[in-house]
Chains A and B, each alone.
Chain A
Amino acid sequence: VSRHQLGEFEEIVMLTVGILYKEAYGVAIIDEMEGRLKRKVSIGALQTVLRRLESKGYLTSEFGEATNVRGGKRKRYFSLTTLGSRVLRETQEQRMEMFKAIPRMAFPKS
């Protein structure tokens, strides 16, 4: 499955989409990421990654209802696809396995 490599930012975006479940649209994703990770996320970077993940088939999206808050523009809600959730899970497992493989001695005593 090595061809499904996720970049760090891609991974975080997918995690956030998962966390927000049915509420994952642009601004909410940015808020969630900024809130959890304490780092600035630019809309340009996020949107590019979202579209890329969608074209890879990891994410899917659909329009929500129009509201008048956003100048009548609909929100686009993202959600994980089956492929996406599998890739995400595999990534997490890989990480965990690697973390567990670190010998206890390697951690400096604190």
Chain B
Amino acid sequence: MKPLPNIQPPELFLRFFRWFCDPAIEEDIEGDLREMFDRDVTTGGSIAKAKWRFSIRILRLFRPGIIKKIGHSTPLNRSSPMFKNYFLTSMRSLMRSKGFSSINIIGLAVGFATFSLISFYVYNELSFDRYHQNADRIFRIVENLRTENEELFQSTSSPPMGPNFLREFPEVVSYVRFQQWSLLAQRNNISSYERDSYIADSTVFDVFSFNLLKGDKKTALREPFSIVLTESMAKKYFGNEEPLGQTLKMDYDNYKVTGVMEDVPENSHFRFSNLISFSTWSRNNKRAEDVAWFWNGFHTYLLLRDAESADQVRAKMKDFIAKNIEKGGMYYEDLPLQPLTSIYMAPPRSWENGARGSMSNVYILSIIAVFILLIACFNYINLATARASRRLKEVGLRKSLGALRRMLIAQFLGESLIVTFIASLIAVMLAWIALPAFRTLVESPLSFSIFPNPWLVAGAALTLVIVVGLLAGAYPAYIISKFQPLQIFRPSAKGIFGHHNLRKVLVGIQFVISITLVAGTMLVYDQLDVVRNQDLGFDKEGLVILPTNGDTAIVNYLEAVKHELKQVPGVIDVAGSAQIPGQSANNLYTEIEMADGKMSPTNINYNFVDYDFLATYDIKVLAGRNFAREVKADDTTAYLINETAVKDFGWTPEEAIGKKVHGRYHGKIIGVVKDFHYRSLHTKVEPLMMALTKNVNRMAIRIERSDDVHATVERVQKKWSELIPYLPFDYSFLDVEFDRQYKADQQLGKVAGVFTGLAMFIGCLGLLGLTSFVVERRTKEIGIRKVLGASVFSVVLLITREFIWLVLIALVIATPITWYLIGQWEQNFTLQAVINPLRFAVAGLAVFLVAWLTISFLSLRAATANPTKALKTE
């Protein structure tokens, strides 16, 4: 067998093994493990399976006889012999009741594992953009733009802002402007859309800490048609060639590669595949760069002297606006500065670059994480106090021999620390195993590189373990150490809750948490359902979207291309437009005739479409008519307007027809369309204008909703490659794209579902432990009851009735809490689901059933057992 130098067994498990194994026997067992691993790899097929089996073997080696002897080589035996005795008795008591110990350990381990996974996610969400060295000094200019009719909160800014801020404010050190360009990149036979191409000022590498690997950061983005590629894009087009100095064709221009940079980290509020010099844009737009104060297609970032100077700039903003920007029908109410590190979590403004996180999701997940850990802690407290009487003899003996109370407290705290420590070791394994699945679940790469210092993480984890260990152990230690030696002769045999009300409260809280999670998850799904099924104003099913990026061949032969595509079997209709619903839209300065006949200026959203747009998307016309090929002047005079705009302007749909519009051209409104969601579903439908164009950026193809969608798409692709062979057939389905807008919320639904299940699981473990304890204590009582004629049912009821009340009380407490939380969360949506009270009943019933099944399982066994057996035990 040849040695396999490349495939190594899982390092983490190996390290764990080396840590726990008796050093005298460590070497040869590790050798055996490695040998078996190599054999699995060479004969057994998948490496993942080999690694899995390797890990399992190590876990099975974690047993007495292999684990190094404590007390022989560890520092423990050097301290007082009493300490060793505490340790021994604790270990013995853990080993004696393996069932209860494993319930505690498994519960805490699952709790720790979920807690750490969620913390990882939350940390990742909160770490966005913090990796920049100047993170606290970088601010984004955003706009509160006032038009005649409304105030717009935009994330964008215009080209003159950056340079003018730098000139007017001594606090501003530098600025960078970005604009997103979606370009078709071509080299040799690779051609693909680079949707995340951005133009950027040459200062980008001074302001942000992007790591330029090749090229000069001062000059890389100075000349027009310079491009800096990220590593992965460089690899995509140049393979192993040296990209520096080569050219890359993007749309119709050739760009010179002047630099290669590291990929933008995943935790960045916007990510790009390449940067193009800003001068590429400004060489043709010199005038606009100086005066186009309302050309809001850019994102501008400022580097300030220090974090505090933002306030000084803000104080002078009113004067700056008044001095520099001409106040017309449209003006800036304010130009706020948004700290870089807050952008990702801030409520999105319009035209955001990149995806945004959701603070409420972070809150909800954090709450769930804490809940799960709490449930696990409560299990420990409950079981430890319930079983306290088991330790009576030991405590009595220790006390008689002169043990002080604080010594006993220390002993039992130590015991809970041992349990939490073992649990945390298992938790690390669990989390490690679950991490890939968790990454898929939250759809986030969660790389360890976001942690600044691994020791800090380890320290935090250790602190958590100790805090949980102390929290869980404090009350049991207090109870147990309180025992009087005389109590040994008077052991009590009460029900699940004995006379400890605390235990009742803790189990009650567990029920409250479970009901909250179950009901909450159901309500989240209700809301997502409402969103998914809402009327978008158009038919999103069966629409295939193709980007064309304004390809000139398509623009010139639009009608012919559409005609050809329509011939493909399965295709119903074809339309072209500048934007597709669900995307952003352009807004343009426009003057519209009001009721009094005056022209009123406004910034209104536009989509430029062709004749078949309304038919293909199935958008209804409420008044007037659609664009018509027969009316020759339509492409230079006709406008369509949406319902919301009509309402905003205070017209009826019929009144709108014929109103004058001075926009791209001087013309009239010829029709009013029913509102459709042309932008994100998170925003309300805003006023919209539509005009005819041939400059199509996207084609929409409506196909028949048969079983054979795939075949139709293939036929379209074949036709497409005949017609326009150089354009990639990079299609998507509109409904899929639309659902993606709710990715974050759907994720929340999925994640909440999984963790609710886990919380219930841990809670049930605790109940199982408590019940089995009670059943064990009451074996004889049950036996006598049965001999005296009690039915199975009445015995089960005897044991289960104690918690029926608890579930009811928990339901009463959980309902308003959940109601409030979900109500808050639903504020994120424009269309909110009605909170269905029935969901709480269902959740309560579900929790009750699960708990009841858990308890009945054991109590039924006790109740059906032969009473003679129970009575014979003495």
A contact residues vs B (CB 8 Å cutoff):
25-27, 30, 42-45, 47-48, 51-52, 63, 68-71, 73-76
Within 8 A of A (CB), among B518-558: none
Within 8 A of A (CB), among B21-49: 25, 27-36, 38-39
Question: Does the CB pair A74–B31 fall under 8 Å?
Answer: yes
Question: Does the CB pair B38–A51 fall under 8 Å?
Answer: no
Q: Which residues of A contact B66 (CB under 8 A)?
A: 44, 47-48, 51
A27 to B63, CA, bound (A): 19
Most A C-beta atoms less than 10 A away, residue of B30, B32, B36: B32
Q: Which residues of A contact B38 (CB under 8 A)?
A: 69-70
Question: Does the CB pair B32–A48 fall under 8 Å?
Answer: no
Q: Does B60 contact A (CB under 8 A)?
A: yes
What is the CB-to-nearest-CB distance from B15 to chain A, in angstroms, rounded to a whole number? 14
Known pairs A44-B66, A48-B66, A52-B65; A73 contacts B31 (CB<8 A)? yes
Size range of the interface on B?
20 to 34
Question: Does the CB pair A70–B35 fall under 8 Å?
Answer: yes
Q: Of B3, B27, B36, B62, which is within 8 A of A74 by CB?
A: B27
Question: Does the CB pair A69–B57 fall under 8 Å?
Answer: no
Within 8 A of A (CB), among B50-69: 57, 60-66
By secondary structure, the B interface counts as helix
Q: Which residues of A contact B30 (CB under 8 A)?
A: 70-71, 73
Question: Does the CB pair A27–B61 fall under 8 Å?
Answer: no
Question: Does the CB pair A75–B28 fall under 8 Å?
Answer: yes
Question: Does the CB pair B57–A44 fall under 8 Å?
Answer: yes
Q: Does B190 contact A (CB under 8 A)?
A: no
Question: Does the CB pair B3–A43 fall under 8 Å?
Answer: no
B contact residues vs A (CB 8 Å cutoff):
1, 3, 25, 27-36, 38-39, 57, 60-66
Q: Of A30, A44, A63, A69, which is within 8 A of B28 by CB?
A: A63
Q: Of A42, A48, A51, A70, which is within 8 A of B31 by CB?
A: A70
A73 to B39, CA, bound (A): 15
Known pairs A44-B63, A47-B61; A74 contacts B35 (CB<8 A)? no
Q: Which residues of B contact A63 (CB under 8 A)?
A: 27-28
Using CB atoms, name the residue of chain A closest to B5: A68
What is the CB-to-nearest-CB distance from B188 to chain A, in angstroms, rounded to a whole number? 44
What is the CB-to-nearest-CB distance from A51 to chain B, in angstroms, rounded to a whole number? 6
Most B C-beta atoms less than 10 A away, residue of A30, A68, A70, A74: A70
A42 to B63, CA, bound (A): 12
What is the CB-to-nearest-CB distance from A58 to chain B, in angstroms, rounded to a whole number? 15
A5 to B61, CA, bound (A): 25
Q: Of B25, B27, B57, B64, which is within 8 A of A43 by CB?
A: B57
Q: Which residues of A contact B27 (CB under 8 A)?
A: 63, 73-74, 76
Question: Does the CB pair A26–B57 fall under 8 Å?
Answer: no
Q: Of B28, B33, B34, B63, which is within 8 A of A25 by CB?
A: B28
Using CB atoms, name the residue of chain B closest to A77: B28
A68 to B36, CA, bound (A): 14
A75 to B66, CA, bound (A): 17
A60 to B31, CA, bound (A): 19
Q: Which residues of B contact A70 (CB under 8 A)?
A: 30-32, 34-35, 38
What is the CB-to-nearest-CB distance from A24 to chain B, in angstroms, rounded to a whole number? 12
Known pairs A26-B28, A43-B29; A69 contacts B65 (CB<8 A)? no
Question: Does the CB pair B65–A27 fall under 8 Å?
Answer: no
Question: Does the CB pair B60–A27 fall under 8 Å?
Answer: no
A102 to B592, CA, bound (A): 111
Known pairs A43-B60, A51-B65, A73-B27; A27 contacts B1 (CB<8 A)? no
Question: Does the CB pair A71–B29 fall under 8 Å?
Answer: no
Question: Does the CB pair A48–B65 fall under 8 Å?
Answer: yes
Using CB atoms, name the residue of chain A closest to B38: A69
A110 to B63, CA, bound (A): 45
Known pairs A51-B66, A74-B27, A75-B28; A42 contacts B57 (CB<8 A)? yes
Question: Does the CB pair A69–B3 fall under 8 Å?
Answer: yes
Pairs of residues from A and B, 10 with the lowest C-beta to C-beta distance, nearest first:
A73-B31, A76-B28, A44-B60, A26-B32, A70-B31, A48-B65, A44-B61, A71-B34, A70-B34, A70-B35
Most A C-beta atoms less than 10 A away, residue of B30, B31, B65: B31
Using CB atoms, name the residue of chain B closest to A45: B60
Question: Does the CB pair B3–A68 fall under 8 Å?
Answer: yes
Using CB atoms, name the residue of chain A closest to B62: A44
Q: Which residues of B contact A76 (CB under 8 A)?
A: 25, 27-28
Using CB atoms, name the residue of chain A closest to B31: A73
A68 to B35, CA, bound (A): 10
Identify 11 new A-B residue pairs, CB closer than 8 A, beyond the known A69-B38, A71-B31.
Answer: A26-B28, A26-B29, A27-B32, A43-B32, A43-B61, A44-B60, A44-B62, A48-B63, A63-B28, A70-B30, A75-B32
Q: Which residues of A contact B60 (CB under 8 A)?
A: 42-45
Most B C-beta atoms less than 10 A away, residue of A27, A42, A45: A27
What is the CB-to-nearest-CB distance from B437 to chain A, in angstroms, rounded to a whole number? 26
What is the CB-to-nearest-CB distance from A69 to chain B, in angstroms, rounded to a whole number? 6
What is the CB-to-nearest-CB distance from A99 to chain B, in angstroms, rounded to a whole number? 32
Q: Which residues of B contact A25 (CB under 8 A)?
A: 28, 32
What is the CB-to-nearest-CB distance from A92 to chain B, in angstroms, rounded to a whole number? 26
Question: Does the CB pair B25–A69 fall under 8 Å?
Answer: no
Q: Which residues of A contact B32 (CB under 8 A)?
A: 25-27, 43, 70, 75
Q: Which residues of B contact A71 (CB under 8 A)?
A: 30-31, 34
A and B contact pairs by CB, cutoff 8 A, 13 listed: A43-B60, A44-B57, A44-B60, A44-B63, A48-B64, A51-B65, A69-B3, A70-B34, A71-B34, A74-B27, A75-B28, A75-B31, A75-B32
